[in-house]
Amino acid sequence: MTTDVVDLCARLIRFDTTNRGGGASEGEREAAEFVAARLDAAGVRPTLLEPAPRRTNVLARIPGTDPELPALLVQAHLDVVPADPAEWTVHPFSGEVRDGYVWGRGAVDMKDMAAMTLAVVADWAATGRRPRRDIVLAFVADEEDQGEFGAHWLVEHHPQYFAGCQAAISESGGFSFHVDGTRLYPIGAAERGTSHLRLTATGRAGHGSRRNPSNAVTKLVQALARIAAYEHPVRLSPVVEAFLVGAGKALGVEVDLTDVDATIARLGPAAALVENTVRNSTTPTMLQAGYKVNVIPGTATAQLDVRTLPGTVDELVDTIDSLLGPDVTREFLEHQPPVQAPIDSPWFTAMTAALVDEDPGAVVVPYCLGGGTDAKAFSRLGIDCYGFSPLSLPVGFDYRAMAHGVDERVPVDGLHFGVRVLDRFLSS
């Protein structure tokens, strides 16, 4: 069944779909046309939509045998972040298969999921099978930037393609995570919100040699120092609490929800799955001020990467306001609120069953993503979004370092495993 998934993944990687942000992109068109051709060959009619030249999205619907069941959305993005060939062992767009891995930019983020989905659809066509429920497929552009040419644009302008979808699956979940002989499989059931803030400090311009108590740069730096030093309180969402309890039980670790930091420290390697999602974060990332070294500027600006947990947005904004100080203001450049999906749902149960059927030793736990995905767009349609792109990974393989990293690669055996799990889940 999975004999062609490796070739599919390699061929998708060979399309350079680099997204540099701000609308600067190689474009997803050739990759989208390849996906559309594979769907067409499997008897699935694709629709290609372009909000701008070469920024191509592919949509399709596979009718289920029971039209009364709610539909499921499977969404994957075709764009990738930039890669410098000089830093890589192989060319990042070679799609080379070596040492049991498919190498290249997008191997795990997320052309692997696109390839696994296409492999499942091809097998259904070859064996004459159909899913029980409608399966909506979306291979989208621009996830690695703002989604304005991809998921967010589709949600705003073409919501009819997602009619009846109750849940969705996509990247960043369902992979094996080895801890001392235990195989955890975290399924994404929440994401921190993403906000980009610009701070502007105003003061009195003047000569750099003269005393100036109204220096905009000084005001801004002091505000940033307060923000950077602030210790955000622990705020446990239901998903994160369930992760701590489930992972702690599986690993034989004492879980004390009144001392979350100590509990996380006892989780060992599994701490990496949760440590960034028990608090909000406010990270200064950009500074701009002045035009000449001997001139004190009248304004200075900074940008913050702000990540918010479900139910904490108002609290965090109030905190930032209290730390700014006089003559420093803020404005949102982007604000995408956090999202979460229920874990006591038939969808989560079915994902768990599909993993356990393939790996009886699997310990499935929900988790919250520290970053963000296109779930923030599709959740606006009332769709419960989950991170479920199943992979079986070898011990010692640093999967979390692969996305956006050098020498990104995905194990061949993991792709075959993923196709089998996806087939079970999508057929349920």
List the catalytic residues.
Answer: 79, 143
Q: How far apart are CA 171 and CA 389, in angstroms?
A: 5
Q: Is 32 helix (H, G, I), strand (E, B) or coil?
A: helix
Comparing CA positions, the residue from 44, 48, 42 lying closest to residue 28 is: 48
Q: How far apart are CA 346 and CA 319, in angstroms?
A: 38
Sign of CA dihedral 377, 32, 149, 147: positive
Comparing CA positions, the residue from 60, 54, 56 lying closest to residue 40 is: 60
Element (H, E) at 41: helix 29-41
Structure tokens at 81: 């972040």
Amino acid at 370: G
Structure tokens at 342: 């229920």
Amino acid at 17: T
Structure tokens at 426: 């999508």
Q: What share of the chain is helix, strand, coil (3-state, %, to 5)?
A: 35, 25, 40
Q: How far apart are CA 165 and CA 162, in angstroms?
A: 6
On the question of a cis peptide bond just before residue 110, with omega within 30 degrees of 0, the verdict is yes
Q: Is 205 helix (H, G, I), strand (E, B) or coil?
A: coil
Region of residue 102 (phi > 0: left; psi between -120 and 50: alpha; otherwise: beta): beta
